[in-house]
Structures are given as C-alpha cells and as structure tokens.
Amino acid sequence: MNRQTACKCCGYNTIGPEGDDSYEICPVCFWEADPVQNANPEFAGGANVPSPDEARRTFSAIGACEPRFLEQVRMPHFTEFPENN
C-alpha cells in the first residue's frame, strides 16, 4: 500500500510517497510540493508564488494556498486526515 505524505501547506495526507520532491499539487489546498520551498519556509517563488509560511496562513483563513485557487480546491477525504493515514 502506498502511503500518502502530508502536504506542507494544509497538513492533509494528499502528496504521494515521493513527498517533497514530487512537485505534486495538493487537491485540498492547491500547494505544489517543492523541495526548495519546503526546505526554506520563508522562500517565496519557485513552484509557488507565496512562501510556505504565507500559504499556510492563507489556507487557514480561506481554505486554499492562494485566493486564485479557491475554485480548484476540495475538502479533504476521511483517509487524508493525518490520524487516518
């Protein structure tokens, strides 16, 4: 069974087993896994416009890593909650 890993923005288990190196987009918050940004939470640029820190604050406020992605995101599935994976 392939276990999902936690998204560095929303914390839900939506990123494949490759984790931070996958450049996979989280369907819950629309954050793109980026090894450079994940290693430096204050770095803006790269695969995502905001820094990981800013994206987390935005996700907490509106439910997406950036306002422009509100139409792209979805609610997490039960199995994506950290305690269920």
pLDDT in tens, 21-50: 889 999 999 999 999 998 888 999 889 999
pLDDT of residue 84: 80
For tokens 């199995």, the residue is 79
pLDDT in tens, 44-63: 988 999 999 999 999 999 99
Spell out the SS3 assignment of 52-83. HHHHHHHHHHHCCCCHHHCCCCCCCCHHHCHH
Q: Classify residue 24 by its DSSP letter.
A: P
pTM comes to: 0.91
pLDDT of residue 85: 66
pLDDT of residue 2: 59
